[in-house]
Amino acid sequence: MSVTVETPLQAGPLLKEKKQGELKSLHKLKAGNRHSDFEARTLTLKITELIDIKNIQEHARTVQPFKASKHQPLISGSVSKEAAIATHAALHIDLTPEKEKKIREMYDRLDADNDGSIDIRDLTQALSSQTPHIPAAMAPKLLAKMKREDSDRVTYADFTNYVIAHEARLAEVFDQIDSNRDGEVDVSEIKSYCKEMGVNLDDHKALSIVKKMDQSGSSSVNLNEFQDFMLLYPSTDMREMVDFWRHNLIIDIGEDGQVPEDFTPQELQSGVWWRHLVAGGVAGAMSRTCTAPFDRIKVYLQVNSTKTNKLGVVSCVHLLHAEGGLKSFWRGNGINVIKIAPESAMKFMSYDQIKRWIQEYKGGAELTTYERLFAGSSAGAISQTAIYPMEVMKTRLALRRTGQLDRGMIHFAHKMYDKEGIRCFYKGYLPNLLGIIPYAGIDLTVYETLKSCYTKYYTEHTEPGVLALLACGTCSSTCGQLASYPLALVRTRLQARAISPKNSTQPDTMIGQFKHILQNEGFTGLYRGITPNFMKVIPAVSISYVVYEKVRKQLGATMS
């Protein structure tokens, strides 16, 4: 790197006089703060680099010619990172040594490539690895808050200015939350302030927020803990911060879809809710379509595989391909995708209404986890009742042979009605209804348990990262399926009984089916076809998450 050197025409008194004059100018800069950081840094460099003309040969040995680089520095000179930081720190004469050391340590952690400045890559990497409670998607907004308008990088001076200003604003926010002015924010104060912002939290959720901020184990949060936790969140608007706590510290990705997401009154009025529902619908459609072959193989094995007619995944693939070709693996997927919209809408409306009834009964208090689970399961039961005929149609279409849908889906449904009556559209309804509660309950319980174990084991993380959350969601979903799968198997056999010659002599009731399977196939018979079901879990969860995030951002449904 090159040095910009102010070389006087002569040494001696003139040099001394010029240096004293510039020192006075520097003191004015510090006191008045009327000039830019650029002017202060340039002037400081001039003072430190003034040399005697007689010693120019010795200084010339350290000078390198100008050269182009990927990131052009603000001042071109042979100034190390340490010297630059020392120069910037000197401009903040009000910083204590402890505070300066703390800012320096944070700056070094964020400067991932150690090039003396912070760019978008550094911030994204730091948020992902060091502060998982703040989404890496916030990096562009955080960078915009830290940097100057004419730069795309953050210098040490920029970062110091950001920290000082942001901590001052966070101190004001802390004072607003700390209603009793004891210097500590506890669960009741978090609940009270969030309620003022239009977000009702129960004790469990408020305690979850406090635990993530609390570093001392005191069950309360002091100013330093609050500032440390929120320092890299690029806003001090309380409405945004409360939404951030709620969405990122309470509602977690991976929670079962049987329990819908809560929306505040403000989100309902602003239209954010429908954007989330649309994003979820698109994600569900994409996920179901991509994993449809696994689903068709599962249904085929559930109906046709028995103790005497053992079929595996590979043999089933050969049979289905020989009968209908590659396209046959997507039979039944069309109606499986179509039913997403009415099911999601019905579930959302029912869940909201049931929550209102419970809150009215409790006098306006927020729902507990178990009450929320009850409301979600009830909403799931209502929505399943409304769209269950489409569920039966999906099973029948997945098992149909080539040529049986030549006249369209409506004609196919009409033939079912003519032959079996209206009751055929609710075959297997009871085991389907009973399967909702264990699936949703176990999924939610296991998810919360795994997440809690993760944070206890990895104490350096206050919240699991995206991959950890996806892993927790996958494991919890698998456990939920294990618990409810026998009911799903019986449901499918009852739905397909009328079109399956092998099953036509089997009982037409849920209890009868359970007895028949246990007597003829043993306990393992209750888990026929579970292998392809497990095979689709990881791709289904991953595709749903990625598509949901992409669509949500495109629709402007920001997850604060």
pLDDT over threshold 70, residue 36: no
Domain boundaries, the chain: 94-236, 280-555
Examine the pLDDT at 166 and tell me if it is beyond 80: yes
Hey, which residues does 222 pair with through a beta bridge? 184
Residues in the chain: 560
Distance CA 192, CA 265 (A): 17
Which of 116-120, 341-345, 369-373 bottoms out in mean pLDDT, i.e. has the lowest?
A: 369-373
The alpha carbon torsion through 230, 235, 238, 240 (nearest 10 deg) reads: -100
Query: Tens digit of pLDDT for each residue in 264-309?
Result: 555 555 556 677 678 778 888 898 999 999 999 999 999 888 888 8
Q: pLDDT higher for 223 or 206?
A: 223
> What is the Cα–Cα distance from 320 to 227, expressed in whole angstroms?
60
Find which of 31-45, 190-204, 309-323, 354-368 is predicted with most confidence, using mean pLDDT.
Answer: 309-323
Look at residue 15 and give its three-state secondary structure.
helix
Query: Checking phi first, is residue 98 left (phi over 0); if not, alpha (psi -120 to 50) or beta?
Result: alpha
Decide if pLDDT at 38 tops 60: no
Which tokens hold the place of 209?
Answer: 């927020």
CATH topology of domain 280-555: Mitochondrial carrier fold (1.50.40)
Asked if the model's pLDDT at residue 158 lies above 60, the reply is yes
Q: What is the pLDDT of residue 518?
A: 92
pTM above 0.75, yes or no: no
Can you give the pLDDT at residue 45?
A: 42
Amino acid at 365: A
Mean pLDDT of 112-130: 81
The answer to whether 206 and 190 are in contact (CB under 8 A) is: yes
Mean pLDDT of 125-149: 78
Q: Rounded to the nearest 5°, which phi and psi values hold at 237?
A: -70, 120
67 CB-near residues (< 8 Å, 6+ apart): 1, 2
Rounded to an integer, the average pLDDT of 152-180 is 87
Percent above pLDDT 90 for the chain: 11
Pick the range with the lowest mean pLDDT from 67-71, 210-214, 462-466, 485-489.
67-71
- Phi and psi for 154 in degrees, rounded to 5? -110, 120
pLDDT band for position 8 (50/70/90)? very low
Average pLDDT over residues 125-142: 76
Q: Which CATH class is domain 94-236?
A: mainly alpha
| Residue 397 burial (C-beta neighbours within 10 Å; 0-12, 13-18, 19+) | buried
**Quick check: 258 and 439 in contact, CB under 8 A?**
yes
Identify which has the larger pLDDT, 442 or 287: 287
Residue 228 in tokens: 């440390």
DSSP state letter for 260:
P
pLDDT tens string 306-333: 888 888 899 999 999 898 899 889 998 8
How far is the CA of 197 from the CAs of 25, 177, 201, 267, 508, in angstroms? 48, 11, 11, 12, 54
pLDDT at 384 over 50: yes
Name the pLDDT band for 466 (thresholds 50, 70, 90): low
Residues 6+ apart with CB under 8 A from 23: 47
Please report the pLDDT score of residue 108 as a whole number: 86
The string of pLDDT tens digits covering residues 495-508 is 988 887 676 678 88
Tell me if 368 sits within 8 A of 204, measured CB to CB.
Answer: yes
